[in-house]
A = this chain, B = another copy of it.
Amino acid sequence: MMKADGCRSPVIAVDLGGTKIAAGIVSAGGYEILAREYCPTLADDGIEAIVERVVSAVGRLISRQDMDLSRVCCASIAACGVIDPEAGVIVFSPNLPGCRNIPLRDMLRDRLGVKAVLINDANAAAWGEHQLGVGKGVDNLVCLTVGTGIGGAIIIDGRLYTGSSGSAGEIGHMVIEANGPRCRCGNTGCLEALASGTAIAREAAAHVSRGEPSSLNEIVAGRLEDITAEKVALAAREGDSLALNVINQAATYLGVGMVNLVNIFNPEMIVVGGGVARMGDLLLDPVRRVVRERAFLVSAEAVSIVSSRLGNDAGMLGAAIFALQQGGK
C-alpha cells in the first residue's frame, strides 16, 4: 500500500516479547533480515535491565556485521503491551511487570544514538504478514500472536486499526469465560489466561502435580516448573494423552476466541503466529473445528484460519517496514 522509500539504509529491528528479545538488521527495502541476535527478556528484572539487554544485542549485531550505527536508518522496536505510538511510550504491559508509562522509544534513541520508532509487537507482526507474508493482498484480517501472552492486531481496509488512543487489538484480553482464571491484566477469564503458552504450561503442570501419568514427568526430569508449552507439544506429538488433552482444551478456548472474531469482524483471514502457533495443525485443526461448529455459518465460510508465513520474523520485519514507511522518523 505504502512505499518503503523513506530511507535507503538498513534498519535495526527489535522484537521485545515477554520471554525473548529478538534483534535484527533488516535491509533497506524491508524484505530481508541480514543478521539476528536473541536473548532472554528476564522481564522481572525491570525495564532498565531490559534496555541494557537490547542495547547489548544491537551492539553484538553491529560488530558481527562490521557495521557502524551511523550507517543505520533507524531502530524500530516492536514491544508487547499497550503502546502510545505518538509518544513512543509503553503505557502498560501485562507481560513486562512494572512497565507503566515507559518512554522506551526515547530511552533507546538516547542509548543507541539513532532515530527510534515504537510499535506494538502484535501490530508489527500483523503489518509484516500483511505487507510480505500470508496476508498480502488481504484487506480485512485479524492476527493473533500466541506465545507467552496472546497479542492481537486488526487490519481493516488495508490499514492497521489502532483505535481512538492507540490501544485497540488487545484480543488476548477478550473475556471468554467470565468467571475463569485470573489473567495477568487483572481481569478474569481472558483468552490469554486460557490459551497462551503460559496457560498451557500451567494447566499441564497442574495435572502432573496431581499425580496424573504423563511423559512430561520424564521430559522435565520431575521439575514441573520446567514444563513449557513447547514441551507439552513434544509430549502430545509422542501420543501423551495428558498433553493432548491440555492442548485440545487450549485449542478449544482459542477456537471460541476465534468464533468471537469471526462473528464480530467477518474477516477474510485470521493469521495465527507466535511460539505456540508453531504447533501448527495440532493446534489449528481443533480451532477450525470449533469455528465451523460455533460461528455464524456465513462468516465461518468466509474466513481462512492460517499460520503466519513469516513466523518469528514477522515482528522484526513488520517493525522495520513500518518504520521505513514512516520515513524512518
Contacts and interface: CB of A to CB of B under 8 A. Distances in A.
Interface of A: 82, 84, 91-92, 140, 152, 154, 156-157, 161-171, 173-180, 185-188, 252-253, 256, 259-260, 263-268, 294-299, 301-303
A253 B268 CA distance: 29
Contacts of A170: 263-264, 266, 296, 299
B92 A264 contact: no
A1 to B, nearest CB: 15
A33 to B, nearest CB: 31
Given A167-B266, A169-B266, 15 more contacts: A140-B163, A140-B164, A152-B264, A154-B264, A156-B161, A164-B266, A164-B267, A165-B301, A167-B298, A169-B264, A173-B263, A177-B177, A187-B259, A187-B295, A264-B264
Q: Number of copies of this chain in the oligomer?
A: 2
Contacts of A174: 174, 260, 263-264
Nearest to A183: B294
Most buried by B among A156, A263, A294, A297: A263
Contacts of A171: 263-264
